[in-house]
Structure 1
Amino acid sequence: MVLRDYTKEFKYNWQLAAPVMLGMLGHTFVSFVDNIMVGQLGTAELAAVSLGNSFMFIAMSLGIGFSTAITPLVAEADAERNFEEGKSAFKHGLFLCTALGIVLFLMVFFSKPLMYLMKQPDEVVKLAIPYLDLVAFSLIPLVSFQALKQFGDGLSMTRYPMYATLVANIVNVVLNYLLIFGKFGFPKMGIVGAAYGTLISRFVMVAFLWWMLKGHEKSKAYVSHIKIMVLDNRMLKKIVALGSPSAMQMFFEVAIFTAAIWLSGLLGKNAQAANQIALNLSSMTFMVAMGLSVASMIRVGNQKGLQQYLDLRRIAFSIFLMGTLFAIFFGLVFFAFHKELPKLYLDEKDLVNLVDNTEVLQIASKLLIAAAIFQISDSIQVVVLGALRGLQDVKIPTLITFISYWIIGFPISLYFGQENTMGSFGIWLGLLAGLTTAAILLYIRFNYLTKKLIDIKHGLS
């Protein structure tokens, strides 16, 4: 095959991926806005949001990862024109995701005492607990939204979740401004105001997406007249079998980044605040790769339903190539502006916090160099993972992600992330090692499976 065979798929890949990217960036933009606004209050407040969100990231990874089971099932049913199977996948997925959202909320809510056992700065913990109370409750609408989003993605209707996320962001920004700083007669609530903004905006997001799906001809029949409590054990088991490993895959990756937050906390509030800045910026670029991952899952799922394995492989490689090109671009941006980007988060003219702010900016600029390097491996691993989910291959990739992040990556972060070795940069060195290992092993797995499918089909014919 020549390069043209891959690049000719770029346009359709982009049409599918761009709305997902914007929608996912919308999720991250909520955090981005929170961080910038809270950063104006001080480094302790920024570290508190980081600590509170570290618990949220773990719970969100399980919820979002589990919900991805809905997309390939709906995409395959859509390709086969099997309406009943597609509606069943949506209904059972929505039921399971809502139930999971409630469970995750309770887990996070009752895990708050762990903050005192983690040797985090006391002033940070005191600020983080009331923030986490409210944000934890937002897990229920967030995971329910993910079920609706993944269903829309499965029908190749990727724009509607994007619109819902954009509306939610507008609501969040307005409420943050009013409640964090106490504008226009509203109470000045600090980081608790940011939590209220997040909570309310996520309920708005669910309601808006549901309204749009009910109004579209393609999705209307799926989301109408749902007997949510009439359940089929076969479909429940199918979604759990696909969703549970997918949840663990995302959990293993997100958990190592969460561990980086906690390890940074051992180095002090400034190291933790710097880690949050670098992590938030990296999350923004990661959502572009996530958009391509969803496009990969949809297109591979469709081709699997059609049993067109040669096209499946070619299309997947076209998306891998797009992901790599984006990653190179973002890596160059991070490297070129590693000293300037952290300044978005803190006020350099704040004389009261000048010493702390200066230290945070110095640490964050170094971490962005590490982030620039791992852009490629981070992009490749998540896009290939999406393709494997499209193939409904989830068990071996789960093992691969565990080995990559926790057998290889975490020990490196733990050893080199101590104050007497490399500090914060050492923590991110472990992240780089884990992501690179995952990218290589997941690619080998996809290459093996697709060649095997092609050989079996051509052998039979």
Structure 2
Amino acid sequence: MLQQYTKEFNYNLQLAAPVMMGMIGHTLVALVDNIMVGQLGTAELAAVSLGNSFMFIAMSLGIGFSTAITPLVAEADGENNFANGKSAYKHGLFLCTSLGVVLFLLILLAKPLMYLMKQPDEVVELALPYLDLVAFSLIPLISFQALKQFSDGLSMTRYPMYATLVANVVNVILNYLLIFGKFGFPQMGIVGAAVGTLASRFIMTILLWGFLKRKEKSTAYVTKIEFFVLENKMIKKILALGFPSALQMFFEVAIFTAAIWLSGILGKNPQAANQIALNLSSMTFMVAMGLSVAAMVRVGNQKGLQQFSELRRIAISIFLLAFLIATVFALIFIVCNTLLPKIYLDVDDVQNLVDNNEVIAIAAKLLIIAALFQISDAIQVTVLGALRGLQDVKIPTFITFVAYWVVGFPISYYLGLYTEYKSSGIWIGLLAGLTTSALLLYFRFNKLTKNLIQNESSFV
């Protein structure tokens, strides 16, 4: 019985591994950024956290919207329908690029909100110039996401990984040169980190397009495109899938962003600790995200073939694999909860010894809670990927809203600001939201696929 699921592990990992590597590589750069910035002080680390909190919201909308491209391309690939696949790519790229420009402008307009959020003044002053440059990088980033989602839909998951890894190397080098002013470069502090991020995102977009242009399977899709000749039917189809998908990701990312802001109300040290725990959790989450893409692609393929019993079996195999991997990460977080935060701070810095010790102590507690929600987070994101592969987005959007904002956020707010739990209370709310989401999304997938199989049997 179990073997019917475990026999899919190898192929699932082959498909998901490049996505995981690309995403982990991207998160590793964020880790290196945080480590470098952490050497400047806890205020600088908190400023990057605050600036990125605005970015996370915008990125969630852009990246969430771009996921509409993958199931459409995967279904067209399963049907061997080139025209539909190319149309999904062209319209998706146009809409994603346009959305990137809009989100960049919205962040610029939203900057004054920092002064109204009860954040430490020194943190806000450092965050504002950092945010200007990082916000502009949304345009190439979301264009890259359109290319990536198209590539994933064709099961060509390696090429986004290659582009991301090269861009990440450039990012790390530029950060080192510009944050600290090495080898004659100006010492720009956290603004230097923003310059590195901006440059790397343009590079990875250009690289991925170049890879796809040279590959036989994808070259006809990405060349000879009449970019501004658009069809209302495909635009409506992408919007119908993309808008709810954007909201799904927004609801989840927004509650983590709210955790950053709530932590800022508690002070710069809780905010810095929150950033450390969030960065480590994000890294393990990228593995689950890779499996989510595999679920989206494989379910989309099976939907195109109308093989619903296989679709369900393959999806459950991915859920099981995600559960097992998340359990391993949970054990690592529990065993190393006091060791991992020390990577981010200079523990020998006598001047900031008290602050650093407080940050490490808070982060260690948060990692215990993060260990618990590894499993919930992995299951909810892989089930969500399978539902996107089925092009089922409206009910899951409602589910994610209820889980994070009706269940999770009130718990975070109350326990974090009005009880002795403080930072730990904020993260208990995150755990509650993720667990609720995982359960409700799985119930939705279970009901939907059983109905499809029943209808398939009735038709036969």
CA drift of 1:421 comes to: 2.6
2:327 is the alignment partner of 1:328: yes
Counterpart Cα distance in 2 of 1:420 and 1:165: 42
Q: How far off its partner does 1:169 sit?
A: 0.6
CA-to-aligned-CA distance 1:76-125 (integer Å, 9 cap, x gap): 00011100000000000000000000001011111110000000000000
Instruction: Report the counterpart of residue 300 of structure 1 in structure 2.
Output: 299
Query: In the aligned structure 2, how far is the partner of 1:15 from the partner of 1:130?
Result: 41
Letter in 2 for 1:328: T
The answer to whether structure 1 residue 235 and structure 2 residue 242 are counterparts is no
Partner of 2:277: 278
Query: Using the alignment, how far apart are the partners of 1:278 and 1:180 within structure 2?
Result: 23
Q: Could you tell me how far 1:24 is from its partner in structure 2?
A: 1.3
Cα shift at 1:460: 1.4
Deviations 1:153-211 (A, max 9, x none): 00000000000000011000000010000000000000000000000000000010010
Letter paired with 2:315? A
Relative to the length of structure 1, the TM-score reads 0.99
Aligned residue number for residue 212 of structure 2: 213
Matches within 5 A, 1:426-445: 426-445=425-444
d(CA) in 1 for partners of 2:249 and 2:408? Answer: 15
Equivalent residues in 2 for 1:389-400, closer than 5 Å = 389-400=388-399
Give the partner amino acid of 1:63.
G
Tell me how far 1:32 sits from its aligned partner: 1.1
Residue 370 of structure 1 aligns with which residue?
369
Q: Percent identity?
A: 75
Asked if the contact 1:335/1:368 (under 8 Å) is kept, the reply is: yes
Asked whether the 8 Å contact 1:135–1:199 carries over to 2, the reply is yes
Partner of 1:184, secondary structure, is coil
* Distance across 1 between alignment mates of 2:303 and 2:356: 52
CA contact (8 A) 1:47 1:276 kept: yes
Q: Any unmatched runs of 5+ in structure 1? A: none
Shift of 1:420: 4.1
CA distance in 2, matches of 1:161, 1:32: 20
Counterpart CA distance in 1 for 2:226 and 2:192 is 37
Matches within 5 A, 1:191-206: 191-206=190-205
Instruction: Supply the distance in 1 between the matched residues of 2:402 and 2:452 (Cα, whole angstroms).
Output: 26
In structure 1, the residue matched to 2:116 is 117
- The amino acid of 1:148's aligned partner reads L
Q: How does 1:104-143 map to 2 (within 5 A)?
A: 104-143=103-142
Question: Residue 439 of structure 2 aligns to which amino acid in structure 1?
Answer: I
- Distance (whole Å) between structure 2 residues aligned to residue 165 and residue 460 of structure 1: 45
Aligned length: 460
CA contact (8 A) 1:30 1:198 kept: no
Which residue of structure 2 aligns with residue 52 of structure 1? 51
Q: Alignment partner of 2:351: what SS?
A: coil
Q: Any idea what SS the aligned residue of 2:417 has?
A: coil
Q: Distance in 2 between matches of 1:438 and 1:205?
A: 33
Q: Which amino acid aligns with 1:411?
A: P
Structure 2 residue 429 is the aligned partner of structure 1 residue 416 = no
Contact 1:13 1:292 in 2 (8 A): yes
Q: Which amino acid aligns with 2:255?
A: I
SS in 2 for 1:442: helix
**1:260 is aligned with what amino acid?**
A
Q: Which moved more, 1:118-127 or 1:19-28?
A: 19-28
Q: 1:408 touches 1:434 (CA, 8 Å); kept in 2?
A: yes
Q: Which residue of 2 aligns with 1:357?
A: 356
Tell me, what secondary structure is at the counterpart of 1:111? helix
Q: Report the CA distance between 1:29 and its aligned residue.
A: 2.0
Distance 2:28 2:405 in 1: 28
| TM-score normalised according to structure 2 size | 0.99
Structure 2 distance, partners of 1:391, 1:271, is: 41
Q: Give the aligned residue type for 2:19.
A: V
Partner amino acid, structure 1, of 2:324: L
Question: How far apart are 1:399 and its partner, in Å?
Answer: 0.1
> What is the alpha-carbon distance in structure 2 between the residues aligned to residue 422 and residue 343 of structure 1?
22
Give me the whole-angstrom Cα distance separating, in 2, the residues matched to 1:460 and 1:203: 50
1:432 corresponds to which letter in structure 2?
L
Q: Partner letter of residue 280 of structure 1?
A: N
CA distance in 1, matches of 2:383, 2:100: 27
* Separation (CA, whole Å) in 2 of partners of 1:353 and 1:409: 34
List, as ranges, runs of 4+ consecutive aligned residues in structure 1 with deviation greater than 4 Å: none
Which deviations, in whole Å up to 9, do the C-alpha atoms of 1:283-312 show, x marking residues without a partner?
A: 000000000000000000000100111100
Deviation at 1:27, TM superposition (A): 2.4
Q: Residue in 2 aligned with 1:446?
A: 445
| 1:71/1:154 contact within 8 Å kept | yes
Residue of structure 2 in register with 1:388 after alignment: 387
Note the residue ranges of structure 2 that are not aligned, 5 or more in a row: none
Instruction: Tell whether the 8 Å contact from 1:267 to 1:419 is kept in structure 2 after alignment.
Output: no
Aligned partners of 1:385 and 1:397 also within 8 Å: yes
1:291 aligns with 2:293: no
Kept in 2, the 8 Å contact 1:213–1:220? The answer is yes
Tell me the alpha carbon deviations over residues 407-453 of structure 1, each in whole angstroms, 9 at most, x when there is no partner: 00000000000164310000000000000000000000000000000
For residues 129-170 of structure 1, the C-alpha deviation after alignment (integer angstroms, 9 at most, x for no partner) is 000000000000000000000000000000000000000110
Q: 1:299, 1:129 → 2: CA distance?
A: 42
TM-superposed CA distance for 1:23, in Å, is 1.1
Q: Distance in 1 between matches of 2:284 and 2:151?
A: 23
Is 1:310 aligned to 2:306, yes or no? no
Whole-Å separation in 2 of the counterparts to 1:30 and 1:119: 29
| Secondary structure, counterpart of 1:351 in structure 2 | coil
Partner of 2:343: 344
Task: Tell me whether 1:169 sits opposite 2:181 in the alignment.
Answer: no
Q: Structure 2 CA distance, aligned partners of 1:341 and 1:215?
A: 42
